[in-house]
Amino acid sequence: MNLRILTVTTGRILRQLRHDRRTIALLLLVPVVLLTLLYFMFDDQPQVFDRIALVMLGVFPFIIMFLVTSIAMLRERTTGTLERLLTTPLNKVDLLFGYGIAFGIAAAAQAAVASAVAYWLFGLDTQGSPALVILIAVVNAVLGVALGLLCSAFARTEFQAVQFLPVVAFPQIMLCGLFVARDQMVGWLEAISDVLPLSYAVEALQEVGVHTDPTGTMWRDLAIVAGAVIVALVLAAATLRRRTA
């Protein structure tokens, strides 16, 4: 890893994003629109809104960054820029971390806007600090980036890349405890839920919902998600080969 190369690569990815105004608008506004729907769906049940909105604040960045990253990385492969980069002093770790940091920054902006709307406009009520919600959302986004980088290795076309979303994201969302509490699932479902990183991210958010101060469980859960990020990035680095056929 080379700090200069990592920095310029992160800057390059952010610059690409900056030229794409429509993507920026979608990144910032879609979560707000969905939160608005949620707010009116549970107009007369503020507790239900609180419970679901809190989890959604962590799930949006995960899904969106997974999609954005898998397409961005696939474009690096199909347009030849990846091959070109691998003939330069750039190390593949610089590229992977560059994506993680750049889209992590984008996710922080997204989470800040969505949280601001949820708290101020829709009166979202949590015992813990909104800053912790944003922190967990960003770690979740980076998880989405890391899994997106890994999955893009198994897709040859953008058609295929998009279809990894239902494979990778949906089971995690279904089993994360949002629809059915994890301890009420049948044993084998709970066991699956136990090995999916998003379950821990959701649990961390729920901890922020009911405790004024950050709890040990929350930090442990956050550490587990961060560990999953590292594992996914290491696997992504292993699937990124300098030499190809």
Binding site for another protein (CB under 8 A): 4-5, 8-9, 11-12, 15-16, 19-20, 79-81, 83-90, 242-245
When the beta carbons of 81 and 239 are compared against another protein, the nearer one is 81
Rounded-to-integer distance, Cα 161 and Cα 183, Å: 33
CB of 17 to another protein, least distance (A): 8
Rounded-to-integer distance, Cα 198 and Cα 175, Å: 9
When the beta carbons of 186 and 245 are compared against another protein, the nearer one is 245
The H or E element containing residue 137 is helix 130-152
When the beta carbons of 21 and 47 are compared against another protein, the nearer one is 21
Residue with tokens 């405890």: 177
When the beta carbons of 106 and 143 are compared against another protein, the nearer one is 106
Q: Is the CB of residue 196 less than 8 Å from the CB of residue 172?
A: yes
CB of 177 to another protein, least distance (A): 38
Q: Enter the DSSP assignment of 243.
A: S
**112: Cβ contacts below 8 Å, ≥ 6 apart:** 134
When the beta carbons of 89 and 166 are compared against another protein, the nearer one is 89
Q: Is the CB of residue 150 less than 8 Å from the CB of residue 69?
A: no
Rounded-to-integer distance, Cα 219 and Cα 12, Å: 32
CB of 243 to another protein, least distance (A): 5
CB of 109 to another protein, least distance (A): 19
CB of 7 to another protein, least distance (A): 9
